[in-house]
Structure 1
Amino acid sequence: MEKEILIIKNISREGPGLLEELLKKRRIGYTIIDLALGQNFPPVENFGAVVVLGGPDSANDNSRKMKIELARIREAIDANIPYLGICLGLQTLVKAAGGRIIKSPVRETGFLDPEGSHFTTELTAAGKQDPLFEGLDHSFKVFHLHGETVELTDSITLLSTGKFCRNQIVRVGKNAYGIQCHFELTPEMLETWMNEDPDLLQLDKKQLKKNFAAIQDDYRLTGRKLFTNFLRIAGF
């Protein structure tokens, strides 16, 4: 029997979105654990892949929750279990792999950067060769929601960079990936986040919806292809 994918939510409102749609369509089994509800991050050894989503925590937190989360991610790295981290899930991956989490030089929120242009991320030479981006362009418009960023060790591969926050997508080993932006975003998720997230509450809702509508079709295609590539890498 094929192993399931373990999906970890750090806060209830930040779910797997587009990734979950893909898993349902392909009938791939998965288990969602919501740490915000007090559920426990289980041992990873019996899962075929691990996905850790975003949230307001810091990977630098000294809480029991974060200590266990980092330990479980380290277990996944050591066991060579395919891993995908989004936003906080990127930062916890880097922290578990020996890197540092620091305040971002720019707090990246929403679709538009401080200059009024769409946030973008550009693949590095290593990123252009990585199977995660097979069949995709080398530059993407993205949605951000983070105030911290990562400093990498020499053993962590940088796959994509941003103008204001450099380290955007990384790989640890052969199959552990971290993505700072939110390719899992759906219109329904954006609606929820706009009404609940403290940083998004400070932005204009109509403008956020307009910005998403302008890139939504391409964004969805990119997200689906990227997640499909990850599932292939993970053996699904």
Structure 2
Amino acid sequence: MTTLAPTLLVVQHIDREGPDLVAEIALEQGMSIQTIRPDQGEPLPDPISTQNTIALLLGGPMSVEDRHQDALAWMQRELEWLTFWHQQQKPVLGICLGAQLLAVAAGGSVKPLQVGLPPQPLKEVGFGAIHWQTEPSQEPLLRGLQPSEMVLHWHGDRIQLPPAATLLGSSLHCPEQVFRIAKHAVGLQCHFELSRSNLERWIEEDHDTIVSAMGPEGPERLRQGHERFGESVQQQGRIFIRNTLRLLSARTTKP
């Protein structure tokens, strides 16, 4: 019997933050793609009746902790939906804001990223390394990767992992960069998925965040970083994304 490839349900929160390499690899693997915009009032599907589907929750400049504001009421509804989706052990990949929502849905929390003593707020923006907390050959998500990989950082919050989560990757300033919950949920605070063309759009549209994190030279440093590291980040990102979609696709066949 032929197994039908799953649908990738893209939950997008802002125009500029799309699925990029995740969509590219999903199509390579024969998946269909459906995009939903909760921020525009579009309803999310019933987790019980939705079968053979991987949810991809993308990023955005908003904070999970702002979900009780009237203008962000859609995010509270999304979190309630995601909590039920997770409880049903439906497969899900969360990136950046999506990873933070996943952590909260699973019983964790999110707080501002701070460093030093006394604690000082930090926005982690730019190309930088993460290191894996386990030997890559021993973890299905990490097979084919080096012990440390370059990624793109773009956040100012920190995840407090739920008890059921397994921490897989950390950066110098933010320990909770990559995590897995059982075999059905993966969270990625950093970015492996971003294409060069969309990076330029992020730089243009999120200029103030970049300058506040990196100074007035920040936009040019990001462009230079992409020239130096971008090809490698995307190459290694493709490995991670393929591993992740294979793992999560296997969950779509589970009862």
TM-score (norm 1): 0.89
Gaps of 5+ in 1: 112-118
After TM superposition, what 4+ stretches of structure 1 lie above 4 angstroms from structure 2?
none
Find out whether 1:57 has 2:71 as its counterpart: no
Find out whether 1:190 has 2:199 as its counterpart: yes
Partner of 1:215: 229
Find out whether 1:142 has 2:151 as its counterpart: yes
Find out whether 1:38 has 2:38 as its counterpart: no
Cα-to-partner distance string for 1:54-79 (whole Å, 9 max, x where unaligned) = 00122222142122211222222222
Native 8 Å contact 1:122 1:140 kept in 2: yes
Quote the offset at 1:103 in angstroms.
Answer: 0.4
Report the Cα distance in structure 2 between the residues aligned to 1:19 and 1:3, rounded to whole angstroms. 14
Report the Cα distance in structure 2 between the residues aligned to 1:98 and 1:169, rounded to whole angstroms. 16
TM-score (norm 2): 0.83
Alignment of 1:111-130 (within 5 A): 111=127, 119-125=128-134, 129-130=138-139
Quote the offset at 1:24 in angstroms.
Answer: 2.8
Find out whether 1:103 has 2:119 as its counterpart: no
> Which of 197, 200, 209 is the matching residue for 2:210?
200
What code does the residue aligned with 1:51 have? L
What code does the residue aligned with 2:62 have? D
Larger Rg: 2
Gaps of 5+ in 2: 115-121, 251-255
Find out whether 1:10 has 2:13 as its counterpart: yes
Residues 2, 18 of structure 1: alpha-carbon distance in 2 compared, 3 angstrom cutoff: closer
Report the Cα distance in structure 2 between the residues aligned to 1:231 and 1:57, rounded to whole angstroms. 26
Native 8 Å contact 1:5 1:29 kept in 2: yes
Report the Cα distance in structure 1 between the residues aligned to 2:26 and 2:217, rounded to whole angstroms. 32
Native 8 Å contact 1:12 1:37 kept in 2: no
Native 8 Å contact 1:126 1:158 kept in 2: no
Find out whether 1:72 has 2:81 as its counterpart: yes
What count of residue pairs does the alignment treat as equivalent?
A: 229
Report the Cα distance in structure 1 between the residues aligned to 2:25 and 2:5, rounded to whole angstroms. 17
Quote the offset at 1:46 in angstroms.
Answer: 2.9
Report the Cα distance in structure 2 between the residues aligned to 1:10 and 1:223, rounded to whole angstroms. 22
Report the Cα distance in structure 1 between the residues aligned to 2:140 and 2:198, rounded to whole angstroms. 28
Please tell me the root mean square deviation across aligned C-alpha atoms, in Å. Answer: 1.9
Quote the offset at 1:127 in angstroms.
Answer: 6.3
Quote the offset at 1:129 in angstroms.
Answer: 2.7
